[in-house]
Chain A
Amino acid sequence: MINSPTHAGSAEVTPIDPTARGPLLLLVGMALGWLVISGTFALIASIQLHTPQFLADCSWFTFGRTDAMRESTFIYGWAGNAGLAISLWILGRLGGNPLRATNWVTVGTLFWNLGLTAGLVGIATGDMTSFSMLQLPAYVQPLMLFAYATIAISGVLAWGGRRSDGTFAAQWYAVAALFVFPWLFSAAQAVLLWMPVRGTVQAIAAGWFMQGLWTLWLAPLALAGSYYIVPKTSGRVLPSYDFASLGFWTLLFVGAWTGGRHLVGGPVPAWVPTVGVVACSLMIFHYSIVFLNLRVVTASVGNAAQFIRLGLIAYLLVGLLDMITSFRFVAEQMQFTFLASALQQLGLYGAISMIFFGCIYFMMPRIAGVPWASVAMMSAHRMAVIIGILLLVGGLAAAGMMQAGDLLNPSANLGDILARIRLPLLVVTFAHIILIGANLLLFVNFLKTAASRADGDVRVRNLFRQPSAIEASAT
């Protein structure tokens, strides 16, 4: 029996973990590595904003290409690998069976990351597609799609073959992210790359994909991790849990319609951005339900819970700001400025990445079978990442505010604007240096942990106290 109450440690480490050890460690390792690489590109790009001649002679690192590489490695390298690891792990554990098709996961991971690497070389040599968040060259995208599908199979099988009839919110979000992404990805590729639609319809489709990436893929991955770890670390039953499904379906059905919101005032029919604005407002319902469910994270203890707490605060803030900034009288000023970047970084780094960090910290001892190698690195990473994100978002927001005010003033010369926002942009560069350092610490910590893992079961049994002994009763 898996959960024999007398066997303390095995109550927490199921047979799922050892079998999935290899592929999951590979995914997490790749994710953390790409995060550092993405940070390097981000640093170069941020330097080029205030010092345009930095690396300007090298065609591989011209600003447009560097920014595309930063974005692609962050989303497909870091968020993709980490999200896949987290969702597979959660589906496995809640499914109650060892993960199946793990060889496919390994193969898929290798091809996913090989494709990404080839794509990066492609971007650097001039094959970027110029669609935001879909910058990988057209020739690697089918490979990425195929690789993702082979990895996702394992998760869908874990859902289908689960032991209990009912399912938990974390499972819905995880399997949604796994299942929906290939459709989203292929639909975007079809109308943008293989059979391009005409003129500004491309911009509309690209906007649909970009928002879909957030609401149909990244947000579900983050919420899967949150919905799992919050009750596990707080011991509480999630309040208002009966409405969790409403929040889930709202995210999926309404979120996908927010695509037009960045095209306010653009060369598209007025209904496209209007529908996007309305959808952003309706999404407040989803964020409210997430708040209602996950507010007990305040009762959670532990390092992972801290990350999730901060990540969820950022997530809710992003939802609110998304709605506010989508309205035209705000968008008129905020459009095309660094404020939009600040909001995007708040979402990608502040919300998604922080939640992923929490999940990784929670997950690693269980799959590796050993505790994290260094406490000092853990706390250094935590502090540095929080400071880094605050400086990053704050710096971009400050630059954006000044830029917004000046752009509206027709006599303000663009060159002068850039000179005026030089200081916040320097802060952003500094933030990226801190973040690279922080993520390097995490990566090194991970490598040491993975290297030190013994043959799992014996050591880890002693690590975990029997949960049933301290299970709090439902509130």
Chain B
Amino acid sequence: MSTPSQPDPRIDLSVVSDQRLLADHEKLLGKQPDDRGRYKLMPLALLFFFSGLIFFGGTYLGRYSGNFHPQIFNETVHPPKAGAVVAAAPVDPIVMGRAVYSQVCASCHQPTGLGLAPVFPPLAGSEWVTGSEDRAIRIVLHGLQGPIQVKGVEYTGVMPAAGPGSGFNLSPERIAAVLTFIRQEWGNSAPPVSAARVSEIRAQDGTRGAWTAAELGP
């Protein structure tokens, strides 16, 4: 038992009872009528402080949230127009063309581009490759059959169609890429082919069977 003057350090004394605690604080929450209104106003300082925080937060959010775009991981990028950020880097046609050639064409025309006499004509130094681009596009789109003269040698074989709808089903982009590739590989030097031109030619020709060398002309 401890004397009133010497508080027992083993107990923390309460200065206030629970009832008093509740009552005193409840009184504070009681509505105190203003002159006009019925409630006590927040002190101006607190209001300004809160507004300041909201303003700061809003500005920060506007600047650094990347417009809430799911693919913006770098918050310093100024929010771009929709779509601009995820535009893929342009595909290098030579790289794509090389891949298509090795997957689709090399089995016959060989990885060296030298072909296989007397069936598969070479592509290296071939006038059919470096010549008219429309003619080359047509060959790839619909295939070629019957004899063909390449570099003074005659070849007789069948080249299957490789365009959209065929077994290989190459898109115009891939056709343009592979033609661009072969037109600059193995010593060839000819301007690249565009996918738009491939699509134009395809629209012109429609669906048809394989070409013959005579139809295509020089």
Contact = CB atoms under 8 A, between A and B. Distances in A.
Interface of A: 3, 11-12, 14, 93-94, 96, 164, 166, 168-169, 228-229, 231-235, 237-238, 241-243, 246, 267-271, 273-275, 277-279, 281-282, 284-285, 288, 301-305, 328, 361-362, 365, 371-373, 375, 378, 462-465, 467-468, 470-472, 474
Contact of A278 (B13, B60, B68, B74): B60
What 8 pairs across the A-B complex have the smallest Cβ distances? A235-B15, A270-B75, A371-B10, A302-B12, A270-B66, A372-B10, A278-B57, A271-B65
A3 B18 CA distance: 9
A301 B54 CA distance: 38
Contacts of A164: 22, 26
A235 B22 CA distance: 12
A468 B13 CA distance: 12
B53 A282 contact: yes
Interface of B: 1-2, 4, 7-22, 24-26, 28-29, 40, 42, 46, 49-50, 53-54, 56-57, 60-61, 64-75, 77
A94 B22 contact: yes
Contacts of A228: 21
Given A271-B67, A471-B16, 5 more contacts: A168-B22, A242-B40, A243-B42, A270-B65, A274-B60
B14 A464 contact: yes
B13 to A, nearest CB: 6
Nearest to B79: A270
A15 B128 CA distance: 104
B22 A237 contact: no
B74 A270 contact: yes
A274 B64 contact: yes
Contacts of A361: 12
B25 A3 contact: no
B16 A235 contact: yes
A281 B53 contact: yes
B70 A269 contact: yes
B16 A269 contact: no
A282 B15 contact: no
Contacts of B22: 94, 164, 166, 168
Contacts, number: 156
B8 A371 contact: yes
Contact of A281 (B57, B64, B65): B57
Contacts of B1: 462-463
A82 B45 CA distance: 37
A309 B71 CA distance: 46
A232 B16 contact: yes
B14 to A, nearest CB: 4
Given A274-B64, A278-B60, A284-B53, A362 B15 contact: no
A243 B4 CA distance: 36
The A interface is mostly helix, strand or loop, or mixed, namely helix
B15 A303 contact: no
Contacts of A373: 10
Contacts of B54: 282
Contacts of B61: 274-275, 278
A378 B70 contact: no
A378 B9 contact: yes
B64 to A, nearest CB: 5
A472 B68 CA distance: 54
Given A270-B75, A271-B68, A233 B14 contact: yes
Q: In the complex, which of the residues A3, A242, A270, A464 has the most CB atoms of chain B within 10 Å of its own CB atom?
A: A270
23 contacts: A94-B21, A96-B18, A96-B19, A168-B25, A228-B21, A231-B16, A232-B14, A232-B16, A232-B21, A233-B13, A238-B25, A241-B29, A274-B66, A275-B65, A278-B61, A282-B54, A288-B46, A302-B13, A362-B12, A365-B12, A371-B11, A463-B1, A470-B15
A281 B18 contact: no
Contacts of A462: 1
B73 A270 contact: yes
Given A282-B54, A371-B11, A168 B21 contact: yes
B17 A3 contact: yes
A125 B2 CA distance: 53
A282 B21 CA distance: 30
Given A242-B28, A242-B40, A269-B66, A233 B15 contact: yes
A283 to B, nearest CB: 9
Contact of B60 (A277, A465, A472): A277
B25 A303 contact: no
A288 B49 contact: yes
B56 A281 contact: yes
A467 B14 contact: yes
Contact of A274 (B2, B18, B65): B65
Contacts of A234: 15
A166 B66 CA distance: 45
A161 to B, nearest CB: 15
A277 B59 CA distance: 12
In the complex, which of the residues A96, A231, A301 has the most CB atoms of chain B within 10 Å of its own CB atom? A231
Contacts of A241: 25, 28-29
Contacts of A378: 9-10
B20 A467 contact: yes
A305 B19 contact: no
A12 B7 CA distance: 15
A111 B7 CA distance: 40
A227 B1 CA distance: 29
Contacts of B20: 467-468, 471
